[in-house]
Every structure is written in C-alpha cells, then in structure tokens.
A and B are shown apart, each in its own frame.
Chain A
Amino acid sequence: MKIVNLPLRKSEIKKLKPGQEVLLNGPVLTARDAAHKRLVETLKLKKKLPVSIKDETIYYTGPTPARAGQVIGSCGPTTSARMDAFTPALLKNGLLGMIGKGERSEEIISAIKRSGAVYFVTIGGAGAYLSEKVISSKVIAYKDLGTEAIRRLILKDFPAIVA
C-alpha cells in the first residue's frame, strides 16, 4: 500500500488518485466543530491563529481520554461535512490535507481541488484500532475545549482512502 508522508507537498498530492488506499505517516493537527468555529472567527478578525495551518493536515477527531501508559484513547474520524462551512477559509490560509469520514458538498470538493489540497477518509467507528496508529499526542491550542482541543498527533501507518 502507498505510503504518504506528512506534512504533505502539493507535488505529492498531484500523484494521488481518488479511491487509492494509503498509509499516512507524520504530523497532523486535530480539530472538530468548536475548534473550527474558533479558528475561522479568529481569521475573520484578522488575528493570528494559535497554530499555523500552512501545509498542515487536519484530522477531524475528538478522542476519548488516554489511560495511564496510553498515547491516546479511541480516536476515529467524525463526520467531515460539518466542517464544510469552515473549510474554505482554512484552505485560503494554506491547509493542504483533511482526514475525516463521509461525503462533502460539491462546493467544498471544488474548493479542495482548486487549492491543490486533498481529503482523505478513514474508518469511522474504528477508534480503538486507529489509536494504535498514533504514536504521539499533545494538546497545543484551545485546551479549554477538552476533547475538541487542537492536538498535534504523529501518525504511523494510519490507513486512509483518497476521497
């Protein structure tokens, strides 16, 4: 299976084909509904984001808490379509990759294509399995959002499909 190294590069994204199964390796940020709302509100106010999203990949997930000795709890993808309203603003600021589950609107699909970015789907409901594909996790912004905080994860052989 094709290995995709993160952070992504536009030249690498061009080589990916829809439906292709890949294994993702490297750093991603996590963010879901509440963090997206805050990021986009910050951009609207022309303020600086707490973390740069340029060339980043965002994984839409809100993990369960980790037990002692665990890197992360269950951490499967959440429904991507709920982030559609916020995605164009993030793409304009350099976001290159997204990982989630489910279809996205036509408008977002064209916006992703236009900016040379890519959307991956992974396996919803496989939170325990996917937790074994995360080798490091650290909250780096919006700590007050709890499970919805922005984390830095390092993925290792994380299964996904190019959407």
Chain B
Amino acid sequence: MMRVVQSKLIKETVKKLCLKANIELRGDMLAALKRARAVEKNLKARRILDIIIDNALIARKKKMAICQDTGMVVVYFDIGQDVMIKGNIDKAINEGVREAYKEGYFRKSIVKGPFSRKNTDTNLPSVIYTKIVPGNKISITVIIKGFGCENASRTKMFMPTESPAAVEDFVVDVVKETGSKACPPVYIGVGIGGTLDKAVSLSKEAVLRKIGSHSEIPHVAKMEKSILRKINKLNIGPMGAGGKATALGVSILTYPTHIAGLPVAVNISCHATRNARKTI
C-alpha cells in the first residue's frame, strides 16, 4: 500500500526545521560547551565559553539566529519506497527554506553564480540529497552550514598503504592550520573510505551523531579519542584564546573503499553546529 504525502507537509516540515536549527542550539552541543567550561582552567577561554553559552540562551529567548551566518541549507531527504509524494519535492523543500529565512529574519547568504556573486535574496537554492529507503516514512534532516568553518574543511586522497597514524595527523593538521578561523571549540566530522564524494558526504553526516558518542567499531572509536586528545593539546582554544577546548568531539564514519585508495574528508563544524531532523 502506497502512503500518500502532500508536498505541503514537506514544505511546512522543512520550514520548521530551518527555524528550529537556526535558533535553538542542539542540546548535546550546549551540554558539551558547558562540560568544556567546567573543566577549563584558562580564564580568557572560560570567559569566551561563558559568552558562547550565553549567546545560545539569548538566541533561544529572543528567537534570533544563533550566528549571523545562517549558512547554506543542506537537506537530507530520505524517502520510504512506499511513499508517494503529491507535488514537486524540490519546490516544496526550497519553499520551506525560503519562508523560514524570511520569517526567521535570517541572513540570505547565497549568490546565484560562483563568479557573478549576485545574492538571490532568498537563501535559495539549498543543497538537496535524496535517498530511497525501505518503509513508508520520510526522514528530513536540515543542516545549516556556515562558511567560516566550511572554508576550513579539507579532503585528501591517501595512498592505500598509508597508516592510521598518518590519517590522524592529517586531521590534526587541518585543525591546526585553520586556527581560530573556524570558530572553535569545533566538532569534527571525518569521512574515511568510499570515493572522493562518499568520503565528503560521510564527513558531513558524521557531525549529526550525538557529540561525545563514539563509533561502534573499536579501532575507529580509538582513533576518534586519539585525534581529540591531540587536537586539544594544540592550545588554540575558544576563538584562539588558548586552553583545552579546541574541539568538543570527533566523529568518524567509514565505508568500504577501493584497493588503490584511501579517501579522507575532514568537515569542520563550528561551536554553533546547527541541524534538526524530523520523520514524517
């Protein structure tokens, strides 16, 4: 039996998710910031963490954007194979984004062409990934990606014979190189394996995982902990003030890959890691 879903429901859901993600900091991110504040000894770093935590509370109270860079919207749209959607899906998603950015008083940051640089004034288009999955439900995930940290992200195609230690060093170097530009304390998503695009995609999905949780694969979990330890010894700290809180978490997702390769993608996500998900 096919389940019929009206495109209007999709539009409304995307809109609500964009509003929520931009205004309410993820509960696990806020908790991680508070934990970092509690153990931080560097006074300057502490004061900055206090402001960052305060900022999240002000944004929620005043229904304001947590950060003025309300990003480019990335939408993961997982459609159950037993769902039939009435209406145009892309149009419904984009319309939801457009309405949220107008009603939420969010910044419109998208330019029509990479060289023409003319603002579309709607924050459209968004980047949409659709996937067909079993079942009769639709899962919608909205990621709000600011470009301070997006610009800091990197990929590298390693030789297949390269050691896990070399991959760890690469991730640490990416963070070191970007310093305080990406708004630390950051959450780091790493995608390892697949093809170039698959690794990047995994690195994006990685930060959707609850911060502080670890991979179910023991050697990957070990790697996450080791990278986090190394990063937090860099003494970059919140906005470059020094201290231990350079990263709040590292999340690695892996995928089978080719005998000739080892793609690695590092997605830096700032302390205002914003996303929201709903299943309809």
Contacts and interface: CB of A to CB of B under 8 A. Distances in A.
B140 interface: no
Interface string A12-43: 00000001010000000000001000000000
B117 interface: yes
Interface residues of B, number: 40
B241 A161 contact: yes
B83 interface: no
A49 B59 CA distance: 36
Nearest to A102: B181
Interface string B170-214: 000000000111010000000000000000000000000000000
A135 interface: no
B130 interface: no
Interface stretch (A3-11, A63-71, A88-96, A108-116): A63-71
Contact of B105 (A21, A66, A78, A126): A66
B52 A64 contact: no
A135 B3 CA distance: 53
Interface in A75-95: 75-76, 78-79, 81
Given A123-B48, A125-B271, A146-B119, A74 B239 contact: no
Contact of A147 (B47, B55, B109, B239): B109
Main secondary structure of the interface of A (DSSP, over half): loop
Contact of A64 (B47, B65, B240, B272): B65
Contacts of A125: 52, 55, 66-67, 146, 148, 183, 270-272
Interface in A117-156: 121-132, 146-147
A101 B241 CA distance: 11
B44 interface: yes
B52 A126 contact: yes
Interface string A44-70: 000000000000000001111111000
Contacts of B238: 123
Interface in B147-185: 148, 151, 179-181, 183
Given A61-B68, A73-B68, A73-B105, A124 B239 contact: yes
B37 interface: no
A132 B58 contact: yes
Contacts of B52: 123, 125-126
Nearest to B178: A102
Interface in B255-273: 270-272
A64 B271 CA distance: 19
Given A21-B47, A102-B181, A124-B239, A78 B117 contact: no
Interface of A: 19, 21, 34, 61-67, 73-76, 78-79, 81, 101-103, 121-132, 146-147, 159, 161
Closest 3 CB pairs of A and B: A102-B181, A129-B55, A128-B59
Interface of B: 44, 47-48, 51-52, 54-56, 58-59, 62, 64-70, 105-109, 117, 119, 121, 146, 148, 151, 179-181, 183, 238-241, 270-272
